[in-house]
Structure 1
Amino acid sequence: MDKEKVEQLKIQMQQWLNEAEEFINHIPLLNRIFLLELYYWAILLLIIRLFKRTTSNTIVLAGLSGSGKTYLFYQLRDGSAHQGTVTSMEPNEDSFILHSEEDKKGKLRLVHVVDVPGHSRLRPKLDEFLPQAAGVVFVVDSVEFLPNCRPASEYLYEILTKASVVKKKVPVLLLCNKVDKVTAHTAEFIRKQLEKEIDKLRTSRTAVSDADISNEYTLGVPGEPFAFSQCHNRIIVAEASGLIGEISQLEKFIRENVKP
């Protein structure tokens, strides 16, 4: 629950308390005590429900075009990558029970997954979904990583410095996709290269304008090489293959942040 909602709730509660006091003052003492206790219990239950209601179930898939986000989206939903062969120009968005959990007994919470297009002109759409995110999955193509290392680092830098991500400490999964390919780079290699590139970026962006600073958080520790462990929010590195359906680490991340 953000600060604005908390303040609104405080104002509303104070109004309720004032009205209740005025009403209770005209009631006999024993009845007054009973009603007062009942009233406070009602407010407590309301607060609990409000907090539960604002717990997000949204997982945002982000990354460059061609990284395999859409394959992953359909694997999560359908257990198949059959619709993930075309580059997305609009966000793929749906709420569903994870395909791997369809046979599980008991009540499972729906996951709202948003696959945001990776084209640079369409990235502003990301800002529509980040404020509601319970977790962000940044997908990297492990095969074509080196030629895309710089643009991937720039995109990841933008996400990691967003106020909507930093303030709420939204966990980020750095998912190295297509690891089933022989020419795929390892997750450890990708992590180190991204850290090096982000370190260069934060150095080159120290002279940004005041307007930019107001919308951006700085990364890392001054005077030290950048590492993901320095981020305010948790950064996890994992592997997957959307094409063959090896997404267990992705599913684990989702269920850690969207409880059943």
Structure 2
Amino acid sequence: MQDLRIYVAIFDLKWRVWLRVLFSIKIRPRKPQQVCLLGATGSGKTSCFLALRNGKASATVPSMVENRCELSLLKLANSVGKEKKEAIIAAAYSRGVEAAAATAAAANACITRLAANDALDASIFLVDTPGHPRLRPAAAAAAAESSILIFFVDAADKPSFKAAAELLFDLFCNPKIIEKKPSLLLVVNKTDKPEARGQQAVIEDLEREIERVRVCRQASLDAEERENALVGIEGHRFILDDCPLPLCICSAAVTIGDLSAIPYFIIRHTTT
């Protein structure tokens, strides 16, 4: 009988200790993924940031400071209302941008399905980085901490392609970014402007500019440094298919509310 009491006491003590340990453990919520908006000055990053955060587009001036906010995926999905989405799709068709309109329509339909399945019960950290050349190190640091990169190119400002190419090349050479392998969406923005170049023309111009940057940079390196900093395929002209990150491309007109596939891209790469 005495032995039984001892066993019961030991069991009770172990049970109490186990319960204390169990209740002392704090379940940490999953840290939201970070989404980084990148691009040259004036490419539309801050306009997109405000459109996603506030649900409406607004005109901005080039920013010299970083903007941050936490955003629920459900709010992101509703960043453009149903009527506005339908108007944007119709406007895209009227401008002859059938592919962009079809992409936007498919993205909106997918977001609707995700919302119905409660797949949007999560948040992201949205970071808008300045595009000024002096602030590129800060932008690169933010990109290295992000799992999704949204890179903007101003389709209506061909001279800005050189700065965009330099930024992209720096991203492709950054070892921390390459190791993390964030998903990259290249946004050909401001397609509503009369002087805007088409998406394919912008891609070809960017590829030529990136190739010029690559040749110039590698000419100043020794053999070992060139091997470590190689972007693309040696002996071949650079094309975006050789990008070291998972890459998608879309067209948009952020200032008129046409976010195209941007919300869908973020949601798809956050919920999968």
Structure with the greater relative contact order (CA < 8 A, sep ≥ 6): 1 or 2?
2
Match for residue 132 of structure 2? 119
For 2:172 and 2:248, locate their aligned partners in 1 and report how far apart those are by CA, in whole Å: 13
CA contact (8 A) 1:166 1:217 kept: no
Match for residue 77 of structure 1? 53
Match for residue 36 of structure 2? 60
For 1:134 and 1:213, locate their aligned partners in 2 and report how far apart those are by CA, in whole Å: 27
CA contact (8 A) 2:35 2:147 kept: yes
For residues 94-113 of structure 1, the C-alpha deviation after alignment (integer angstroms, 9 at most, x for no partner) is 01125453594635211211
Map 1:93-108 to 2 at 5 A.
93-98=68-73, 99-102=75-78, 104=115, 106=118, 107-108=120-121
Give me the identity figure in percent. 30
Distance change >3 Å, CA 79–CA 225, structure 1 → 2: same
Match for residue 16 of structure 1? none
Q: Which runs of 5+ in 1 are unaligned?
A: 1-41
Match for residue 141 of structure 1? 154
Larger fraction in helix: 2
Q: Report how many residues are paired.
A: 210
Mapped pair 1:200 → 2:212: yes
TM-score (norm 2): 0.69
Map 1:1-260 to 2 at 5 A.
53=30, 57-82=33-58, 84-98=59-73, 99-102=75-78, 104=115, 106=118, 107-144=120-157, 146-209=158-221, 213=225, 217-259=229-271
User: Which letter does structure 2 place at the counterpart of 1:81?
Assistant: A
Q: Compute the displacement of 1:209 (Å).
A: 4.3
Structure 2 residue matching 1:133: 3-state secondary structure: coil
CA contact (8 A) 2:40 2:132 kept: yes
Q: Compute the displacement of 1:81 (Å).
A: 2.2
For 2:48 and 2:260, locate their aligned partners in 1 and report how far apart those are by CA, in whole Å: 11
